[in-house]
Structure 1
């Protein structure tokens, strides 16, 4: 019995479109793919290649997630700083408005006046 073999194509002269080579045949010629891989694609290289490709994808995804998380943290920190500044301003306004002189100034239009003399202490005899 004879063995199966690939049929070899015989190259004819130049065609009507010039050299008759397309981009893929030029790439194959320049890279010498058949010299590196032989006549077929070695299937035993597929699992390590897919494993490395999967690791690369996981690495890219991980970096993408980390960068997104850093962006979210920076935005949140900026919001916290803004809120902290607002709280500080409100506390300062509250402390100012609770001073005795400010309270007296605010209630003066209502006709309530501040007493000038200190309160008296009432003593009871037993």
Structure 2
């Protein structure tokens, strides 16, 4: 009994012209790699799990890099926001310190009719 094998279907005129001309990049790569010599005409079932494992690891690696880049971008955005808020706080503190000076408070109180005393306070002495 004969063994079943795959037969490569080729048209005599077209196949020889295409291979011999080498005009396509893919035909050149196919000639140089010759994968059919390694695995035959089809994918061996025993090689599927390692390829799937490698593909899964590659996808996890790509996802991890993508997530890390997004995290770095977010950190830079938040750092810029913190620097802006820090500058605002410094400005507000300087304004508060300036407005709490005695001369500034006196200017604000004059509008209400309260004036600053120019004389020093007197000490009251009580006789025993």
Where does the alignment leave 5 or more consecutive residues of structure 2 unmatched? none
Paired with 1:114 and 1:93, the residues of 2 have a C-alpha distance of 22
Paired with 1:64 and 1:118, the residues of 2 have a C-alpha distance of 72
**TM-score, normalised relative to structure 1:** 0.76
Post-superposition Cα deviations, 1:10-58, rounded to whole Å, max 9, x if no partner, equal: 653x25xx92569598354443222122233222111111101111111
The alignment covers a number of residue pairs equal to 123
- 1:120 offset after TM fit, Å? 4.1
Paired with 1:77 and 1:88, the residues of 2 have a C-alpha distance of 17
Q: 1:8 to 1:102 in 2, by over 3 A?
A: closer
1:3 aligns with 2:3: yes
Where does the alignment leave 5 or more consecutive residues of structure 1 unmatched? none
- In structure 1, which of residues 112, 116, 119 is the aligned counterpart of residue 118 of structure 2? 116
**TM-score, normalised relative to structure 2:** 0.75
Which structure would you say has the larger RCO, counting Cα contacts within 8 Å and 6 or more residues apart? Answer: 2
Kindly report the root-mean-square deviation, in angstroms, between the aligned alpha carbons of the 2 structures.
3.1
Q: Which has the higher helix share?
A: 2
Q: 1:29 to 1:93 in 2, by over 3 A?
A: same
SS at match of 1:115: coil
